[in-house]
Amino acid sequence: MIRSHGVGGHLMQRPEITNMSDERLQEWLGSLPAAAYTCDCEGRITAFNSRALELWGSTPQLKSEAHRYFGPCEVLFENGAVLTPEEGFMARVLRSGNDCAECEITFRKAGGEMVHALVNASPLRDGMGQVEGGIGIVFDMGKQHATRVRLEEEIDVCRKTESLIHESNDKHDHLLMHFLHEDIAQQLTGIALLGGILQKNLTLEAHPLSVKAAELSRLTSECMITASSLAKGVYPLDIEVGGLITALEALALRTESHLKISCRVESDSGFHFVEQDAIHIYRIVEIGILRAVQNFGSKRVVVACLGSGDGSRIEISHCLTGQKRIPWSNSWVGINLLNSRARLIGASIELLEEPGKCSSLVCRLRENC
């Protein structure tokens, strides 16, 4: 595998190397703190130090066609396929006359051991400036690679755990919503109906408890409305009934009612999303609206669901009516909650802030939407 990290300027460019005797060149290579070798313009190995021999695991034949460009090893593509000698980093250096700086490679020794290394290579030129060979410095990155692999694995485990936590919370909220809506609210509805019948009968009989029965019926109806509202707050039932946009519009209405601000939802026909992502998109908007009010003291929030050739996105825009409190970028909890949700659906979060003006939070959905 070869991965380039950048291009250095005149890497290891030492004009005197080309004029060194074989003994002096071998001595100089031996003084280097890493594996090093030189080759001629055809890629034939001309010299190497003990560290290169240790890294390769076997001795290359000097000035031989058998081991060209990089010693007795097989350099690999990322998919594991073997590069031909002409596809390697040193061959490119000799053809182009340009340096190869911090080029990450994977190669296989003769015994089958895989090695991860970082390579710096430069062309060697004669007195006329013509490329007559090359020099390669190779650093064994085995420990660093193993550390990076473990870190990537740990990050993957953390993200999977993060996903399981969100899924567990959503399932819990979903069950609680159904319990409040289907059980508690429905039972309260029945009690309210019975209370109404009782109140009518007591009124017909001019019973003194008819007033209390009417009060009981009214309070029960209020409890039913509260339970239904609480259920929607815990989990957006509207997503299951009318879809994401309907749920977002209901969220905007509840936000206006509870937070006493202006909140509206706009959408165009180009807006598309993956259905199973709906709850995560809803939560992102929910957090975005709440943070807009808490962080900025905003009194007007617009949620725009837009689609274009660049894909679908959601923009949560809000204009300041007073002094801004906490910038989005300083709201650790808000940003991490948003990014956490966004990662689960392959989306990205972008914050657009203009001091003293309107600010926007943009959620760009995955490209295949």
CATH of the domain at 327: 3.30.565.10
Residue 160: which region, alpha, beta or left (left: phi > 0; alpha: psi -120 to 50)?
alpha
19 and 128 in a single domain? The answer is: yes
Higher pLDDT, 321 or 174: 174
pLDDT at 150: 78
28 and 117 in a single domain? The answer is: yes
- The encoded tokens of residue 250 equal 């209901």
364 and 312 in a single domain? The answer is: yes
| pLDDT tens digits along 6-56 | 333 334 444 466 667 778 888 888 888 889 999 999 999 999 999 998 888
Residues 6+ apart with CB under 8 A from 70: 85, 88, 89, 90, 107, 136
| Three-class DSSP category at 362 | strand
Residue 299 pLDDT > 80: yes
What's the whole-number average pLDDT of the chain? 77
| pLDDT tens digits along 257-292 | 888 889 999 998 889 888 888 888 888 888 888 878
pLDDT at 360: 82
Question: Pick from 281, 264, 267: which is nearest to 364 by CA?
Answer: 281
Rounded Cα distance between 207 and 293, Å, is 51
Residue 295 pLDDT > 90: no
Rounded Cα distance between 231 and 289, Å, is 19
Where in the sequence is the domain holding 205, given as residue range(s)? 163-235
Higher pLDDT, 347 or 195: 347
- Any domain includes 291: yes
pLDDT at 179: 59
- Any domain includes 149: no
Question: Pick from 110, 112, 75, 73: which is nearest to 92 by CA?
Answer: 75
| pLDDT tens digits along 159-218 | 777 666 666 666 666 666 555 555 666 677 777 777 778 888 888 888 888 888 888 877
At which of 235, 256, 289 does a domain end?
Answer: 235
- Any domain includes 345: yes
- Any domain includes 216: yes
Residue 34: C-alpha distances to residues 11, 54, 210, 255 (Å): 15, 10, 96, 64
Domain count, the chain: 3
- Any domain includes 152: no
At which of 173, 202, 235 does a domain end?
Answer: 235
- Any domain includes 150: no
End-to-end CA distance of the chain: 33
Question: Pick from 314, 263, 266: which is nearest to 289 by CA?
Answer: 263
C-beta separation of 176 from 237 below 8 A:
no
- Any domain includes 271: yes
- Any domain includes 155: no
pLDDT at 163: 67
- The encoded tokens of residue 8 equal 């250095």
pLDDT at 58: 86
10 and 76 in a single domain? The answer is: yes
